[in-house]
Chain A
Amino acid sequence: MVLEKVVEILRNYKDEQDLEVTMDSTFEELELDSLDTVELVMEIEEAFDTSIEMDGEIKTIGDVVTLIEKAIA
């Protein structure tokens, strides 16, 4: 559920509707730098109407999905 929504946001952000994204995809592999990561995490937070702690390392899409799942549980 969460992953699907996150993938949709990512595809819109990159404007690539056939972008392949899995839990293991890293932001780096998706050619997203640290500034993109901040933008995206905030967009994802807004979409789920929640906020996640960004003090740890966020490397993969799975990291974000897990944090969101925890936040909305």
Chain B
Amino acid sequence: MIKTPLCDLLNIEFPILQGGMAWISDAQLAAAVSNAGGLGLISSMNADENWLRNEIQKAKSLTDKPFGVNVMLMNPHVDKIAQVLIDEKVPVVTTGAGNPGKFMKLWIEAGIKVIPVVPSTGLARFSERAGATAVIAEGGESGGHVGEMSTMPLIPQVCDAVSIPVIAAGGIGDGRGIAAALMLGAVGVQLGTRFLVAHETNIHENYKDKIIKAKDIDTTLSGRSLGHPVRSLKTTFSKDFIKAENDPNTPPEVLEEYGRGALRIAAQEGDSQKGCFMAGQIAGMIKEKQSVKEIILTLTQETETVLKGGLQWVK
């Protein structure tokens, strides 16, 4: 049994969070993860408040366990979304793509536990000062929008910088990764890519097949020139995008437009010509499609074995 202080803090059985992935993390996936003992998250992506309210209510009908919502702070509807979270009494909110300062006070007063995703010690300290319950320190091995730091150096430095609990993310795909994250000082982990192939995940079967087929070297970074690099599988789309990006004659607006909707196309249509299949570097470790419950049980059992085995090196 893997138990950390995060379990009591978030009222969950295992210290495993499922990442909020746009066009992927919906009510069905979040509820499945929460039912399996982790903390499921719905991604509010760029959706409006009505879509989010429906998803939250749907998740409530599928689980009586706590679940959370990931808020993308650049969402144009973010003010209304912030209020829906309060109205629906969502227990946990994670934030990405921006500074949650504006909403922190509001959410904390409403009893919501706020857990910002941070790429540096500075933002971690800032979040702690603003009243965050914990932080998710995410390394650039992860899929989707990534920071510069990688997980191995980031986690211990964030742990040293703050006194609130630290959740590790980025590059964690199995029990070995979870055990390592705990050894670095984290008290929980967040996984995204591993859940892409879950039976409960509502994405095109091509997306899942691509993850299963992926090798270690099959992800790439694009969008660096736009200031927000994205890690995804190498596909025709990503190759074309990087080519356009490296061409000095391509205006940034054209690139932005090119990338717009590409994740939706990957998730819903499975089209590798036009779709951006976001995935982390652990994609190469994923060999089979499983139910969420199987994934979480496997992860916790592996973690236990690895942690117990660690003592063999202590003489």
Contacts and interface: CB of A to CB of B under 8 A. Distances in A.
Interface residues on B, range: 10 to 19
A38 B102 contact: no
Contacts of A51: 129
Majority DSSP secondary structure for residues of A touching B: helix
Nearest to A45: B129
B122 A35 contact: yes
Contact of B125 (A34, A42, A53, A55): A42
Majority SS at the chain B contact face: helix
Nearest to B102: A55
B126 interface: yes
B177 interface: no
B242 interface: no
A21 to B, nearest CB: 20
Nearest to B119: A35
A56 B85 CA distance: 22
Contacts of B82: none
Given A35-B119, A35-B120, A38-B120, A55 B126 contact: no
Given A35-B119, A35-B122, A55-B101, 16 more contacts: A34-B99, A35-B123, A35-B147, A38-B99, A38-B120, A38-B122, A38-B123, A38-B126, A39-B122, A42-B126, A42-B129, A51-B129, A54-B101, A54-B126, A55-B99, A55-B102
Kindly list the 4 A-B residue pairs having the minimum CB-CB distance in the complex, ordered from nearest.
Answer: A55-B102, A39-B122, A55-B101, A38-B122
